Amino acid sequence: MDFFDPKIILTAVSIIFISVPTVIYQYLSHYSRLNRNRLSLLSRAAQNTELSEQWRLHFRDQVLDEAFFQAHRVRANNGKKHYLLTLYSYVQQRCSFRQLILTFDRIKFINGRYRFNIDIFAALWFSYSLIVTIANFAMALLLIVLLIGTLQSQQDLPWQWGFLTIPLFAVLALYSLRESMKFILACHIRRILKQLPADARAELGV
């Protein structure tokens, strides 16, 4: 058996790179559920008028631009707008890939300065999803190279390898990158929450 046969190589790497994103996705899904549960508790706690006023003052300039979420606002029982409480769920459910890029470019912290370049790319570098993203892109390129080489050598390789696996890994790459950005955005939200005053953090349990 020739272990360097293109069919064997394609089969092996297909199994590997299809299973890895699945494991990563399960990890990110678990993290997402934890954050959604936390935000649900925060939303109920923020119905307190005094606490909501504290949030309004502290997060007035620290969340996304109001225009970006103008059509997606929600109100607590006291009528206050809580952008931060719905930010993660909004990104998780509705944001397109382009909107995610714009989102990260407009995040502000308590000090009012942008921390996009250092924080985002440093976090992405240590993200497992970024590794999966690069691997999937590399896999798609590898499949293209193998197909071209096979066609040039006139070996018998089913065309469905090219039509099915290349788009599959390209989609997996984009999807894993999107999940990576969601993960990092959740980390930023958690970081902002930790900068609340001590009494507000004690009230919210963060």
For each successive 10 residues of the chain (206 residues), what is the average pLDDT? 59 61 54 49 46 46 36 37 42 44 43 41 49 64 66 56 61 63 58 58 51
pLDDT value of position 29:
53
* CA proximity to 181, closest of 110, 107, 79: 107
CB-based contact 109:62 (threshold 8 Å):
yes
pLDDT value of position 58:
44
The two structure tokens encoding residue 57: 């003052």
Beta bridge partners of 185: none
Three-state secondary structure along the chain?
A: CCCCCHHHHHHHHHHHHHHHHHHHHHHHHHHHHHHHHHHHHHHHHCCCHHHHHHHHHHCCCCCCCHHHHHHHCCECCCCCECHHHHHHHHHHHHCCHHHHHHHHCCCECCCCCECHHHHHHHHHHCCHHHHHHHHHHHHHHHHHHHHHHHHHHCCCCCCHHHHHHHHHHHHHHHHHHHHHHHHHHHHHHHHHHCCCCHHHHHHHCC
Model's pTM, two decimal places? 0.33
Ranges of each domain in the chain: 6-204
pLDDT value of position 86:
40
